[in-house]
Structure 1
Amino acid sequence: MEASVILPILKKKLAFLSGGKDRRSGLILTIPLCLEQTNMDELSVTLDYLLSIPSEKCKARGFTVIVDGRKSQWNVVKTVVLMLQMSYLGLAGL
């Protein structure tokens, strides 16, 4: 998947890799939810793209996912967490 194909979705900044690392050197993925309704399909495409970027060595260390739901409703946060559990559970450390 190329960034140019999903550029309109990426510009929405539904999720991002900050460049930071956790204690075990896993990458930090942040999902800042906002008051507008989050499109789960677009979020899924964004996550698929972002999680395809790191090398296999980095992926093996796992990821720390921060779901920032301060500006959202609880049911949206819960839906995103459930989507992460169901879709990305196979990733090491996620």
Structure 2
Amino acid sequence: MQQDIRPLLAVDIIEQLHKQFALLSGGRGRDGAPIITFPEYSGFNELPDEDFVNVVTYLTSIPSLDAASIGFIIIIDRRRDKWSSVKASLARIAGAFPGNLQLVLVLRPSRFFQRAIADIGIRLHREDFKMKIVMLNSLSDLHGYVDKGQLTCELGGSLQYCHSQWLHHRTVSQSLHRVRVTVSQSLHRESESQ
């Protein structure tokens, strides 16, 4: 018996999406590339691989194929973190990101010692990650790559984004879609039987 393959839906991974370790706020790069943000998240290193893969796979499935084909811009905010967290984030993204990566922008740790370690670490490990990585010192550096209007207020931008509202809209629209598909299939089967 053939099993139906269906795409991952928000309701399937609602608990993982609630953690907010990765966000698709609707911002775009100058060329239209969708932006996925990895905000400060203290438990990022302890996230199960399945949670990471599910959320990132889901987020990369949302933009249109045209937008996704341009490549995603990743913004990793680790200003209050350590180099080890930056390195773990980059390694996880390099190893399991399911989409076309255009650019990875990293807001490096702001503490002097951690910033120095990050500078050395990125020079030593850049080739390991096999992606275009730009280390940024500040939000104003980030604004040189992405317009403020495409960034949320946490990143010094003006893009309005509420994660709980986004989740609500995604789950409601997907539930309505499921109902529509079910009704359509039922009507199709009914018309075939007549």
Q: TM-score surpassing 0.5? A: yes
In structure 2, the gaps of 5 or more residues are 1-7, 104-194
Provide the residue aligned with 2:39 in structure 1: 32
Cα distance in 2 between the residues matched to 1:69 and 1:28 = 16
Summarize deviations over 1:47-80 as a string: whole Å, max 9, x none.
1110111111110111110011123332122111
Structure of greater relative contact order (alpha carbons < 8 Å, 6+ residues apart): 1
What is the DSSP-based 3-state SS (H/G/I as helix, E as strand, rest coil) of the residue aligned with 1:15?
A: coil
Counterpart residue number, 2:29: 22
Larger Rg: 2
Q: Which has the higher strand share?
A: 1
1:86 deviates by 2.5
- How many equivalent residue pairs? 94
Q: Structure 1: state its 5+ residue gaps.
A: none
Residue in structure 2 matching 1:46, options 33, 52, 55 = 55
Q: Which aligned segments of 4 or more residues in structure 1 are displaced greater than 6 angstroms?
A: none
TM-score (norm: length of structure 1)? 0.84
Structure with the higher helix share, 1 or 2? 2
Normalization by structure 2: what TM-score?
Answer: 0.44
- Please say if residues 22 and 38 of structure 2, whose CA atoms lie closer than 8 Å, have aligned partners that are also in contact: yes
Q: Is the 8 A contact 2:38 2:75 kept in 1?
A: yes
Percent identity at matched positions?
32
